[in-house]
Structure formats: C-alpha cells, structure tokens
Amino acid sequence: MEDTTNQAIVLLLNLPHPCLGGINLLSFTTTPRFYGIKNLPPGWHFVFTSSTSSLSVRHGAWFHVKGPSSAPPSSSAAPSPPELFIKKWDSATETLLPETSPTALLHWRANLGSIYRDGLTPYRQSATQDRDEEETNDWARLTDCITPALLTRITGETPDHWSLTSASSAKVDIDDIPGLPSSSAAGPLAEKELGFLPIDLKQTWRAGATGRERTHAAQDRSWYLSSLITTYCREDENEVLGELQFCFLMVLTLNNHSCLEQWKRVLGLLFTCISAVGQRPGFFVRAIQTLQLQLRHCGDVEGGLFDLREEGAGLLRGLVRRFRKGLEEVEGVGKVDVVDELEELEEYLREEFGWEFEGEFVRRGMLELEDGERVEMEMSGYEEDDESGEYAPMVVELTPAQASALDVGDAGTLSLPERLHKVKRESKSESEESEEAEESEDEQDLDDMDARF
C-alpha cells in the first residue's frame, strides 16, 4: 500500500457544527469529530465553509501544497513530516483565518497522531481508484494556470493564504432567514475589492487612437488583450487563463457573483480576438480547452446557486458563433489547431445542450463606443444579453426586420439618431418582456425557498 503518512494535511478548526465544508470539488457536512483533511496531493487547494449548511455566506481560502521533496529518501533519515496548513473559523467575522502562531503550529503538529485516524478525512475517498484519479486530474487541470502572483493580485493577500467570500450575493436571502445576522458584510471586514484585470470592452484601443484604428480595435480586441497581458500579467499570457479558472471556481464553490461577472468579461474578451489567434495559437487552444473542462464541471458542487448551463446559453452561444466567424480571417500555421479545438467544443455543446452552430445567422448590430461613435459589428452573446449591465443603453441590436426598416422604411423622414433611437426603443421593449418573465421565475424561487425553511 502507498505510504500516505507524509502527505499534506489541512486542519479546519473551530467550525460550528454542523456546517458545510468543502475542498476543491467536494463538499460535505461536518461532524464534531471533524478536524480536517489528510492525504492532500501536491498542487492548489481551495477549502471553503459556511456557517450553516444552507446556502448562506460562504468563505474560503486557497493554499498550495508543495508535496514531498523530490530528493531520494535516504534510509538513515527520518521520513519528512507532512506539510501542515491550519485554518481557523472566526465566527465574529465568519471567515477562515490562517493560524500563524508558531506555538499553535507546534502544538497541532505534536498532536496530529491523536486525530489522524478518526478526525481527519482522506482527500480521496471515492469508491474506486479510477474515479479518484479522474477527479484529482481534472482539479489539477482546472487550476493549472493559477499562480501565487495571480491570487495575490486578485485577493490582495500574501502567501500562503488567499481568501475570499460570497458576502453579498445571498444577502437578500440572508435577510429573510431568522436567526442569522442580517448583514454580515457590514461587520469589521468591509467588502474587499477584488483586483481583477480591469477589462472594459467599450474601450479596447490604445490611448490616442483615432478613426479606423479605433474602429478596428473595437471589432478585434487583440491589441487590448496584449496590452492587458503586458500591463498586468508581466507578459504571462497564461495569467489571463488563470483568472478565468479562478473566477469559475469561485462561482462554483462560493457563488461569488463578482467572479461570475469577471468570468463573463474574460470570455467576452478572449472570444472577440481575431488576429491574436494567429499570433498566440497555443494560448487560444488552452483557452478553449479550459472552457470546455469548466462546462463539464459546472454542476459539481452541491448547493451551487448558479447554473452555468442557463447563464452560459446566451453568452456562450453568441461568443462561439462570433469567434468561429472571426477565425475565417485568421492566417498562420497554428490556426488549424484552434479550429480543431473549437470544433470539439461545438461538438460537446451540441451533444450536451443540443446547440446547433452550422449555418446559423450571425447577428449584426451597432456598438456605441464611449464617445458616441458607432461601429457596426457582429454581436456576441455578451453584448446581446447584457441588457442590465454597463452595456444597457449603448448597444443597439438589429433584427433583420429592423435592419431593413432602417434601410428603406422610415429612412426618408427620420435622421440617423432618430432611426437608431426608434430601433433601440423597439429592442428595449422586447427585453423588458423577457425581464418580466425572469422576475416571475425569481418569485417562484423565493417561494421554493420559503417552503424549505
């Protein structure tokens, strides 16, 4: 049997019982005997907890296991002790804090023996070895672009503990649950700004660019991607994928809505690049692979508020369609790999969600730049769907009927701004209808919630 006694351990102390605990893609309800998790493989891990086992505030922290040193074990030396991570639940702030006191660390290390067998749950515990392998490998791939630099930029913390919470996303629900403090966000820990890449898809050209250059940069965001990589990622393009991975996993495990918005922005940027595909084909292959793997895991964590399938529908469909169209213009030896990978993704979406891509009509619309200039372009799902967000008043979508109305219909009597205004109003009223439909669904959800509590 494999010797596991020197594999890493994370202790989760002072948890209320029962509480929801989780590590990576696994979640569980804790018992009073639970002290933590043993047999952690090397690599990134994310532990999270919630003060109750329902869907309330969740808090979690990343840490990195180096793994047993690769030096060959010499028979004379004692086996190296396991790496030990200690996180304490602080009920006042409802957060996991790192235990840094050397005395406490010594104490727990000395007492590991007494809790090792019954107090620590093994990380791998599926019925079969194969399933374990698959989960561990997928987790490794879901985090393979995450780096200490990325986590420090986003969470603003230092090694080896990078934490975040889902403070406000469930706030409305929290207010309604008796017995829970009505606003934990107003506590001693004010909401922390996450240091995401400042992606603004409305301004994707260099300072001072004018005319054609600007229009081009609005239609093909490649310049903008490079500039973000240079300015914020120390030229490490994989950090953009790391951010995509981070955001996805924080939506999955914590339901952190800010991360969901950023996940959409990163995808919105990547899949509206054209010339960059020829320059960085390997990067785009990895981006598409990352997205597909994420989609395969979007239902993994119990109690996830967010269903990527629904959310993704409008966004992804549009983006994939538009990206494929853009690829037609790309030249370069690496292009074929990107096309292959995209076809695989489409195949997966077709099988899993029944989406069709062949022969689909790509919508054209007008994107209004921040100074009021309008650029005609193919619209991705991101722009189409984000009626409520920053795009709301800026995007004018043209259905074929509206487009032809623009060309002929009123053309003689209305000025261009008037015509656009008319089209805008028409598409607005459509979206209002769908918003109403969504609202009644939300009410339905609330009723369901009430029934449970």
Ligand X SMILES: *[C@@H]1O[C@H](CO)[C@@H](O)[C@H](O)[C@H]1NC(C)=O
Question: Does residue number 51 form part of the binding site for ligand X (CB under 6 A)?
Answer: no
Instruction: For 93-148, list the strands marked E by DSSP.
Output: 95-98, 120-122
Q: How many helices (H) and strands (E) does the chain have?
A: 16, 13
Give the helix/strand (H/E) hosting 150.
helix 148-155
Binding range to ligand X, per CB under 6 A, among 76-84, 85-93, 110-118, 166-174: 166-174
Our CA angle for 373, 377, 380, nearest 5°, is 120
Of 167, 174, 199, 330, the one binding ligand X (CB under 6 A) is 167
Q: Rounded CA gap, 261 and 51, in Å?
A: 25
Among 169, 262, 290, 292, indicate the residue that binds ligand X (CB under 6 A). 169
- The least distance separating ligand X from the CB of residue 251, rounded to whole angstroms, comes to 10
- Nearer to ligand X by Cβ, of 77 and 190: the residue is 190
> Which range in 77-85, 102-110, 190-198, 403-411 contacts ligand X by CB under 6 A?
190-198
Q: Which of 194, 369, 405, 414 binds ligand X (CB under 6 A)?
A: 194
Q: Is the dihedral of CA 212, 219, 245, 66 positive or negative?
A: negative
Tokens coding 77: 């030396």
d(CA 244, CA 264): 9
Task: Return the SS3 of 393.
Answer: coil
In the complex, minimum distance from the CB of residue 190 to ligand X, in angstroms, rounded to a whole number:
8
Binding piece for ligand X, criterion CB under 6 A, among 24-32, 127-135, 189-197, 237-245: 189-197
Nearer to ligand X, 238 or 258 (CB): 258
Distance in angstroms (rounded) separating the CA atoms of residues 168 and 257: 8
Residue 214 and residue 262 in contact, taking contact as beta carbons nearer than 8 Å: no
- Is residue 40 helix, strand or coil? strand
Pairing of strands 43-50, 20-23: antiparallel
Q: Which are the contacts of 416, defined by CB distance < 8 A and separation ≥ 6?
A: none
Three-state DSSP state, 45: strand
Q: How far apart are the first and last CA of the chain?
A: 46
User: Smaller CB distance to ligand X: residue 168 or 227?
Assistant: 168
Is residue 215 a contact residue for ligand X (CB under 6 A)? no
Single out the segment in contact with ligand X by CB under 6 A; choices: 141-149, 250-258, 344-352, 417-425: 250-258
Span of 26-34, 162-170, 272-280, 360-368 interacting with ligand X by CB under 6 A:
162-170
Residue 39 touching ligand X (CB under 6 A) = no
Window contacting ligand X (CB under 6 A); options: 187-195, 220-228, 386-394, 425-433: 187-195
Going by C-alpha positions, the residue among 318, 323, 421 that lies closest to residue 374 is 421
- What tokens does 398 get? 């043209």
Based on CB atoms, which residue is closest to ligand X, 157 or 337?
Answer: 157
Measured on CA atoms in the order 276, 232, 200, 204, is the torsion positive or negative? Answer: negative
Q: How far is the CB of 180 from ligand X (least distance, A)?
A: 16
Q: Which one, 46 or 224, has the nearer CB to ligand X? A: 46
- Could you say which of 166, 204, 253, 290 contacts ligand X (CB under 6 A)? 166
* Alpha-carbon gap, residue 352 to 103, rounded angstroms: 53
Scanning 109-117, 188-196, 270-278, 413-421 for contacts with ligand X by CB under 6 A, the matching segment is: 188-196
Choose one: 1-9, 40-48, 252-260, 325-333; the region binding ligand X (CB under 6 A): 252-260
**CB nearer ligand X, residue 142 or residue 250:** 250
168 binds ligand X (CB under 6 A): yes
Q: Does 49 bind ligand X (CB under 6 A)?
A: no
Shortest distance in whole angstroms from residue 185 CB to ligand X: 7
Report the residue number, 190 or 437, with the smaller CB distance to ligand X: 190
Write down the least CB distance from residue 355 to ligand X, Å: 29
| Strand partners of residue 50 | 20, 58
Residues in 380-419 at the binding interface with ligand X, rule: CB under 6 A = none
Q: Is 165 in the site for ligand X (CB under 6 A)?
A: yes
CB of 157 to ligand X, least distance (A): 10
> Which residues, 258 to 277, sit near ligand X by CB under 6 A?
258
Least distance (Å) between residue 331 CB and ligand X:
41
Does position 97 interact with ligand X (CB under 6 A)? The reply is: no
Q: What is the DSSP letter of 369?
A: -
Total of residues contacting ligand X (CB under 6 A): 12
Q: Which residues pair with 58 in a beta bridge?
A: 50
Q: Across the strands, what pairs with 8? A: 40
Are 150 and 55 in contact by the 8 Å Cβ rule? The answer is no
CA atoms in the 13 A half-sphere facing the CB of 5: 11
Binding-site ranges for ligand X (CB under 6 A): 164-169, 191-192, 194, 256-258
